[in-house]
Amino acid sequence: MTTLKTLKMLLLTSALGLALGLPSLDASRALAQGEPPPSAEPGTADSPEDSPENDAEDAAESRATGFRAVSGAQAEDVPGGLMLVGAYGVIAVLLLLFLLRQRSQLQALAERITALRGEIERKGAEQNQR
């Protein structure tokens, strides 16, 4: 019964360790048996230089901000003239397309008005004949 319980605990801790990316199976086995994990035993800890705390401190120091003297203004790398000409070109093309669409709609409206006038004259002529 105890062996079954130990196996269940070992599987659960291993699965949890894999899911969370925790230490290896040895630590899971030690936890399942109620012993301290191998890294917690005296004399087996990693060297202080390789510890995660020191890695975090090194990373923090490398990202640390400090005063940096700068001389002169920074030059802009993106040419603005080409973007300005491109923007005006896009606006001109859109305006041209809008005007062409308005012209075609105006022609369609003029044709419709001509057709309606012809229909009105035809209906008026039919009523005058009665």
**For 54-112, what is each residue's pLDDT tens digit?**
676 676 676 767 777 778 877 777 778 989 999 999 999 999 999 999 999 999 999 99
**Cα–Cα dist 119/113, whole Å:** 10
Is 78 within a domain? no
What sections of the chain are H helices per DSSP? 2-20, 25-32, 52-63, 80-129
Is 63 within a domain? no
Q: What is the pLDDT of residue 60?
A: 67
- 110-116 average pLDDT score: 97
**Cα–Cα dist 40/46, whole Å:** 10
Is 101 within a domain? yes
Is 75 within a domain? no
Structural domain boundaries, residue 32: 1-41
Comparison of pLDDT for 48 and 54, the residue scoring more: 54
Is 90 within a domain? yes
* Tokens, residue 18: 């894999």
Comparison of pLDDT for 103 and 24, the residue scoring more: 103
